[in-house]
Amino acid sequence: MDIAHAALNGGKAVNITIDDGPDPTWTPKVLEALADNHVKATFCMIGPQAAAHPELVKAVVAAGHRLCDHTVHHDEAMDHKSRAYQKQEILAAADQITRASGGVRPLYYRAPGGAFTPYSRQIAAAAGLRPLGWNIDSKDWERPGVPAIDATVKDELPNGPTILFHDGGGDRHQTVEALEALLPWLRAHGHSFSFPVR
């Protein structure tokens, strides 16, 4: 199955995607920023993080957001590993996320660092997970400062609708502040908010 980038709603809709959580410090703040702006997002969760924080996974689901499988170990070189390894990374994480959510399965699979293979896409699709890419890397993981994150997203909007942010992997206060600024700006400039195509 091909890697999804498009927005379900088409037009000027954008997909907000949030990777590497859930995190007990930053996920609640990201959820608050999304709620304040009436935006639904897709959370690409690392399996053990979900297992460690089921209350956060349940909060994400309860707020109407969607879940995405982001593997067990976030191995950005998994495209060079065996098929058995790739299968384990995807399916074990999906199970961890599903258990943590109370039975809600992830709808998407995002390979760490975009390390997809034809095999991993097949495994994901067979498990009901649409492979999910991105068009815009906000570079929030580099912590370049809120103005830089803001500028990157605005500059790259012509690239397509799916925007990558992070709520895990360390201090994400820049991400939260950038979302608080960008979400109303996007709406004011005619963008709506969607989920990725399935």
* 190, containing H or E segment: none
Residue from 69, 166, 167, 191 carrying the catalytic annotation: 166
Domain assignment present for 102: yes
Residue from 19, 20, 69, 95 carrying the catalytic annotation: 19
Domain assignment present for 198: no
| Per-residue model confidence as pLDDT tens digits over 119-149 | 999 999 999 999 999 999 999 999 999 999 9
**How many other C-beta atoms lie within 10 A of the C-beta of residue 55?**
12
Euclidean distance between CA atoms 198 and 181, whole angstroms: 28
46: left (phi over 0), alpha (psi -120 to 50) or beta: beta
Domain assignment present for 41: yes
Helix, strand, coil % in the chain, rounded to nearest 5 = 45, 15, 35
Dig out the tokens for 36 from the structure: 């304040």
Q: Residue 186: which CATH number?
A: 3.20.20.370
Query: Looking at the 3D structure of the chain, how many domains does it have?
Result: 1
Domain assignment present for 79: yes
Domain assignment present for 55: yes
Domain assignment present for 137: yes
Domain assignment present for 196: no
- Per the annotation, the verdict on 70 as an active-site residue is no
List per-residue pLDDT tens for the chain, 198 residues long: 899 999 999 999 999 999 999 999 999 999 999 999 999 999 999 999 999 999 999 999 999 999 999 999 999 999 999 999 999 999 999 999 999 999 999 999 999 999 999 999 999 999 999 999 999 999 999 999 999 999 999 999 999 999 999 999 999 999 999 999 999 999 999 999 999 999
- Per the annotation, the verdict on 166 as an active-site residue is yes
Burial of residue 84 (number of CB atoms within 10 Å: 0-12, 13-18, 19+): exposed
Domain that holds residue 150: 14-190
Whether pTM exceeds 0.85: yes
